Homo-oligomer: A and B are copies of this chain.
């Protein structure tokens, strides 16, 4: 399935988001390359040809998408957040030295022995991050 700007409008509407120019561009940036981008990377991607979207809008929009469950945030780098267009259950492989972040399908992984939750609590999500680096030897 191809990701087009038209698709994006559909997608946004289906998540109860008014599809504006900027929002479509930002969604397209994330979904068309199925990659983990930081706010900054989204910013430069969207403004590649000529400036059209402000920093404030990028942040507003990413947070809106987050709220509406269109994307997820991935917290692996203490200095910045990554945004992930893949909302199906999955885990992450983080290359510490290069900053590269890739997915691990959750279906192949089993996690057993987690303790019961405290009373009145529910799980919001489970993040599994495998940090790897180039061998030093």
Contacts and interface: CB of A to CB of B under 8 A. Distances in A.
Contacts of A76: 75
A72 to B, nearest CB: 11
Given A75-B75, A115-B108, A131 B121 contact: no
A108 B113 contact: yes
A50 to B, nearest CB: 30
Interface in A85-137: 93, 95-96, 104, 108-115, 117-118, 120-136
A81 interface: yes
A7 to B, nearest CB: 29
A5 to B, nearest CB: 29
B123 A126 contact: no
Nearest to A125: B131
Given A122-B132, A127-B127, A128-B127, A111 B114 contact: no
Interface of A: 73, 75-78, 81, 93, 95-96, 104, 108-115, 117-118, 120-136
In the A-B complex, the 4 residue pairs with the smallest Cβ-Cβ separation, listed nearest first, are A109-B113, A124-B131, A127-B129, A108-B113
9 contacts: A75-B76, A75-B77, A95-B121, A104-B115, A122-B132, A122-B135, A122-B136, A124-B131, A127-B127
